[in-house]
Structure 1
Amino acid sequence: MKVLDLQCGRQHTFEGWFGSEEDFQSQLARSLVECPVCGDTGILKRLSAPRLNLGATQAPDKPAGESRSVAAVPAPNAAQQAAFLQAVRHVLANTEDVGAQFAEEARKIHYGEADERNIRGQATAEETAELLEEGIAVMPLPIPKALKGPLQ
């Protein structure tokens, strides 16, 4: 199994697992590798150090006073990406999907013609602008393809 550090064109970083380098390159060429945050298929392989698990051996002690080189380099925006995905999962779990009827259903709720509840769905930019002009609070929320299927 080959574990790769990957990055999309929008700088989201993520990990991908592949059977081999050839498997990764084949999937990449067919645009099957995509960012789990934004769905971008413009993926680059990031530099990463190999990790070797050779057992629970300890490094030899250094003489007193000798410095050790250490580095902690987290993936850029990893915390924000995780928070965003958690927020999207929360929205998916706590809203009703009304699909293309979103603008119509949002108006019904706003004007008291339907029970008040949390909804999500699809609306054009024009429909979204009209809803906002009417004083109906809506917010575009891109949902990554990976989260549109069954939650795992």
Structure 2
Amino acid sequence: MIRYALTCGAGHGFESWFASAAAYDTLSGAGQVSCPICGETRVEKAIMAPAVTPARKAEAAAAAEARPKLGTPQSELEAALAALRRQVEENSEYVGMNFATEARAIHEGASPERAIYGEAKPEEAKRLIEDGIPVAPLPFRPARKSN
């Protein structure tokens, strides 16, 4: 693919992509290249600078490659939180937005006792605590909410 800066007979400037230089010549010769502003088919190539990646961009790309990845823990605290998350996810059931309902059902014996985690609105969590149902906030968001 090649990109050309073009001008029409009316002086409008625009750019367009072509499969090759020969493809441009063929289409232009057949009158199939036209100005998107006025529709003029007398179109010529304009002077343009080549798109070359400067060395600075290559150096910046190499530096970005050397940076640590976002998912990799960068401190002991981050590693501990990642371990806690794995522990919770491996040993309990995610119940989503039904957390308050399910926690209450387990506490009252209406649901089988098991470790669960999920999401609750602050008011729901407060009511659970007021009713003596043991709950605790987790220091991470569920995986489905992570970017």
Question: TM-score, normalised to structure 1's length?
Answer: 0.47
Asked which structure has the greater RCO (Cα within 8 Å, sep 6+), the reply is: 1
Q: Which has the higher helix share?
A: 2
Instruction: State the structure with more CA Rg.
Output: 2
Question: TM-score, normalised to structure 2's length?
Answer: 0.49
